[in-house]
Structure 1
Amino acid sequence: MNIPTGLILEGLVALLLVTTIAYCWVLDRKLKAIREGQDGMRDLVKALNRSSELARHYVSDMNEASRRAGQELEERIQSAKELGEDLRQSIEGGQANARALADELSIMVDAGNNLAERLETQVNKRVAAKPAAPSPMPAHAQRIARAPVPQTAAKAPAPAPQQRAQAGRAGGEPADVPALQQKLMDALRRSR
Structure 2
Amino acid sequence: MSHLLGVAIESLVAMLLILTIGYCMVLNSRLKRLKADEHSLKATIAELITATEIAERAIGGLKHTVRDVNEHLGSQLTSAERMSQQLKNQLAEGDNIFRRLSKIAVAARPATDAEPPPVASPPRVSSAKAVAAAAQAFSDRRRPGGLAA
TM score, norm. by length of structure 2: 0.65
RMSD of aligned residue pairs (Cα, Å)? 3.2
- Give the number of the structure whose alpha-carbon radius of gyration is greater: 1
Give the equivalent residue in structure 2 for 1:186.
126
2:24 is aligned with 1:45? yes
Q: Which structure carries more relative contact order (alpha carbon 8 Å, separation 6+)?
A: 2
Alpha-carbon distance in 1 for matches of 2:48, 2:13: 51
Give the equivalent residue in structure 2 for 1:81.
60
Give the equivalent residue in structure 1 for 2:142.
none
1:33–1:114 CA distance, 2 compared to 1 (3 A): same
Question: Residues 35-63 of structure 1: CA distance to partner in whole angstroms, max 9, x if unpaired?
Answer: 22222221122122122222222233333
Q: How do 1:5-84 and structure 2 match up within 5 A?
A: 22-84=1-63
Q: Which runs of 4+ in 1 moved over 6 A?
A: none
Give the equivalent residue in structure 2 for 1:115.
94
Consecutive unaligned residues of structure 1, counting only runs of 5 or more, are 1-21, 135-162, 168-173
Alpha-carbon distance in 2 for matches of 1:35, 1:105: 101
Alpha-carbon distance in 1 for matches of 2:85, 2:42: 63
Alignment-mate amino acid for residue 98 of structure 2: L
* Aligned-pair identity (%): 8
